[in-house]
Structure 1
Amino acid sequence: MRKIKMEILARAGRNDEAFSLLDEIIAANDSINNVEVNARFDELRTQYEVEKHIAEKERNFHYFLFTLGICLVLVLLLAGVFYYNRIISTKNRKLYERIKEQDRLAEELSRMAQACESTASSEVLPQTSDTAATVGQHRLVARLREYLLSGDNLSNAEMNRDEIISALGTNKNLLTDAVRAVTGNSPMEYMRMLKLDEARKMLDHHPELTIEAIAFSCGFNIPSTFYRLFRKQYGISPAEYRKQANKL
């Protein structure tokens, strides 16, 4: 309508009014364009906020799934550790009970051997050279054990076989043969087993002592060596053995 009026004014020679009307038309068009642009901006802003909200929900959901996955993995790991520790604890308990049963059997055999020796010594029956040698070997091994467990001999890591032979008043061959005949081990192996056995008894009866102190008192100057030999001998570490002993 304004455009038609402007054309009429222009044809009538009323140019000033036509130009004034043109300015109004331009201003009106600018206003309409601004309204449309603002509406478009508002629409885009609304769309952006909606998409942003959806993206945040998806991201939070992914975080939730990730956290839930980590929690499940931790639960499985904790369950695995608990189950493994349960198996190890059961195994160590059985090892400890087997060791104590061996101690009981060893004590019974020792009493029987002492009884047999007393009976044999009280009889006036003739003994063969083989029987006399066997009795002599047992007595020599008993003297060796008594010597090692007396004083500070067991804790003396520098003690060698020559000192032991001299103290027992025997010789290398007799000592080696006697220890092998009675224990099935060499003198050095027997000494190491005796040290480990005494260390094990100290773990049972001296909870106030550290494992390192027990190792040193039994002639092991290097605790790691003691740990390794103890596990090799009994199938259980000194710490686990003491743990089982403390449960009694």
Structure 2
Amino acid sequence: MRVLAALLILIAALPARAEEVVLGLSRTNVSITTDFDGSDILIFGAVKREVAIQSDPPLQVIVTVEGPLEPVTVWRKARKLGIWVNAEAVEIDSAPSFYAVATSAPWNQSITAVEDLRHKVSIPRAIRSVGAPMDIMDSEAFTEALIRVREQQGLYRVEEESVELQESTLFDTSISMPANISEGRYLTRVFLTRAGKVISVHESEIQVGKVGLERWLFTLSRQMPLAYGLLSLAIAALAGWGASALFRAIRSG
């Protein structure tokens, strides 16, 4: 009886369940068609809790959307004999094809460096590069170059203070996906943080894939490359003949 009483006292002394995320997505599938020009994903949710709202330190929300991982070779050009050529290369083991980060507060108020390293939240932490050649001392510059290029392409983005957080309970944000995204599984994560420390994580998925004519052409190019090549030549020849016929008709008219 004494042991049972001690266990009951211990359970009663435990804190209430931590705050948790209840997440929703405006869509869980994105279809890539021939006229696809990008898509916006609305991510919204609420904080489920069994304790009173704690205002100090305030709750913060970080949302990330990560595209399929892929190896990437990054080259550095050098000028030799008056010509720019590829000189050095670093193999990046794993980099997201798309990565977006949205926060409810400035980055330095949202998460600490230790927690970022642990959960791989920021763009540099999401990229894995461990196989740089020993003779390249500044291998981090290659990762920075990859990030810079993909930021220019709209594939990597950080949008601070773009998550609307109301009463430390309801939140929402919108993530824009450009037209040049890759097919595959896109991992969506929501982090709740206090004083920069992660207190809850929720994960969901968005499936991105080609449909219709785009899917048929893609499948044909992979499974029957010869037929795809012949079809491309036929379409090109037909387009050339049509343009020539239209030009002759205009001239004769």
Same fold (TM over 0.5): no
When normalised by structure 1's length, the TM-score is 0.21
Greater length-normalized contact order (CA 8 Å, ≥ 6 residues apart):
2
Larger Rg: 1
Which protein is richer in strand relative to its size?
A: 2
Normalised by the size of structure 2, how large is the TM-score?
A: 0.21
By percentage of residues, which structure has more helix? 1
